[in-house]
Structure 1
Amino acid sequence: MQTLDENILSRLQQSAPENCTILPGSTPVIAFGWFRTAEIATISLNPSYKEFDLVKGKNRFHTLDSLGLHSYADIKAEHGEQIIDYCERYFERDVVYKDWFNRMTTFIKNSTGYDYYEGTACHLDLSQWATNDIWGKLSHVQQKDLVSTGDIELLGEIIKHGKFHTLFLNGKKISMEIFHFFGVQPKKVLLRQTTKIDGKIKNKVEGFISTTSSIAGVEIGREITLIGWNTYVKYAGADVLNLISKWIKEELGKANVAQL
């Protein structure tokens, strides 16, 4: 049986699937932050191509060029260590893609007390490949091909070998896709019905929750909680974020009581 490091190296050596708009020369993004010790994780579909933009002359993540390599098959253990180092220290290297992470950081910390920057939270993706096209513009065939290089299996192994007790899914599209690929059926919780207040329409707010001890066939060895919601944190108003945050706190409180 392979160790987590061996699983990661095997994944890094996989060639990029064709016709999926993989950013040329980009390496798989294993995680954002300290994935071995974080207690909660946010999960999205795949990294943005913007994660491979230079920031003040620095790479956010390694590329084949920055490693001096010609192909993924050339990645050896020492290159894997360099790739993982950039992943683990993402929030410490002054390269954070703030347009995405800053509001999420505030929301997660306010809702749970966990923090990307303190290393108690990290971010993971369903597929580790960065693509030029966003997930929604990829066909179903491309989406399946994107995770065909061992992505979901590696995600399961990372969760299995980590210390995670809760995973958070940001937005309805992301939540439904991840629940589907994980093979988990969530329960929907109505947090607010569509209503009109002071002449303004307030959209419905829903939460999605489930527990599982298996992800895409990978037995985790413990039960973890998956929590999602139907709005995107980056664009949500304070009233919506407060509703979701209150619900998350209640659910985590129930989970803590159940463990006593």
Structure 2
Amino acid sequence: MSIAKSLLKRAIDYQKEISESPFDNEFIKRSTPVLWRGENVPGNIVTVGTNPSAKEFLNQHNELLENEKARFFIRENHVNLEEYRYDDSKLEKTIDYYRTYFERDTAYRSWFGRKGGGKLEAFMNGMGGSFYDANAYTPVIHMDLFPFPTQKQIGRMKEKEELLNSDFVKNSVVDLLAFLEPSLIIILGKEHCERIERIEKETYLGEVQFLSEFPDAAYQIGYYSSKKIPLLGLYFKPSEQFIGLGSKRDENGLSHGTYGSSASLKYIGEQIRQNTEKVHNET
């Protein structure tokens, strides 16, 4: 808990720092940093995305999700970031929201998928992991490079590269992965594959590979840091429509919409898992 609180305090400090700039308009009022989601047990699988969606904090009417509907800790109206940072009970509640995220009925299933369902959960089932079913699979935790929800997608912001390449992000990613102690790290998106190699020295991703049945589901296999933690970089995003590939067809004539079905995502996960295990067994 002490390490988790230390990581959270650093994120709050950075949120406070950039809240004093014009970027403050992008923050969701009364929101708090989201360092990870899931029970942090050593040996889990960690998936890495960009940043928390605004939908994690806001409903369809752009109102804050509070009380029993809240997915994360929400600051009271009168509590600013400085007061929040120095309130241990609030910090511990924030961390408890992280740990119990997938145990509660409020998880953002439109992105993560449901237990036994599609989206990222289907792919992770193929990889031998699950956000929800730790008894049958290896537990999965999700974290983001930029751990703050924003009003619009960070990819559409002019500050994108400045934020994602900041010293805060670099240090936060390295320290959070050290804290989570994963047995496998999965990077979601081609640009983040390149980014993770820049963030941590001695990280290596091999040549781009393709599945014969799903040739547009490209990926790289390698290792993270000097600890040589198995690393998988996906050039696609199983959580998004057509897994971020668009609505075209691949060289086999298969539509990208087919790639996004639960059965396809689970199969893709199974095939990539086998290839990942083969590579790591050979090295």
Length-normalised TM-score, structure 2: 0.72
Which residue is equivalent to 1:41? 46
User: Does residue 31 of structure 2 align to residue 19 of structure 1?
Assistant: no
User: Does residue 119 of structure 2 align to residue 108 of structure 1?
Assistant: no
Which residue is equivalent to 1:209? 221
| Structure-2 change in CA distance of 1:60 and 1:249 (3 Å) | same
Correspondent of 2:232 among 227, 231, 234: 227
| Structure-2 change in CA distance of 1:244 and 1:108 (3 Å) | closer
CA distance in 2, matches of 1:121, 1:136: 25
Correspondent of 2:102 among 58, 67, 91: 91
| Structure-2 change in CA distance of 1:258 and 1:162 (3 Å) | farther
Q: Number of matched residues?
A: 240
| Structure-2 change in CA distance of 1:148 and 1:39 (3 Å) | same
Q: SS state of the match for residue 7, structure 1? A: helix
CA distance in 1, matches of 2:198, 2:236: 18
Length-normalised TM-score, structure 1: 0.78
State the percentage of identical aligned residues. 21
User: Does residue 206 of structure 2 align to residue 187 of structure 1?
Assistant: yes
Q: CA deviation at 1:186?
A: 2.4
CA RMSD in angstroms, aligned pairs only: 3.0
CA distance in 1, matches of 2:273, 2:109: 24
Gaps of 5+ in 2: 59-64, 114-118, 244-258
Q: SS state of the match for residue 65, structure 1? A: coil
Map of 1:141-160 to 2, 5 A cutoff?
Answer: 141-145=159-163, 148=166, 150-160=168-178
Correspondent of 1:176 among 153, 170, 194: 194
Letter in 2 for 1:163: E
Which residue is equivalent to 1:199? none
Letter in 1 for 2:182: F
User: Cα deviations across residues 37-61 of structure 1 (Å, max 9, x unaligned)?
Assistant: 3511100011111110228952111
User: Does residue 74 of structure 2 align to residue 63 of structure 1?
Assistant: yes
Correspondent of 2:92 among 65, 81, 91: 81
Q: CA deviation at 1:146?
A: 5.8
Q: SS state of the match for residue 205, structure 1? A: coil
Correspondent of 2:179 among 161, 164, 168: 161
| Structure-2 change in CA distance of 1:147 and 1:19 (3 Å) | farther
Is the contact made by 1:171 and 1:233 (CA closer than 8 Å) also made in structure 2? no
Letter in 2 for 1:189: V
* Runs of 4+ off more than 6 Å: none
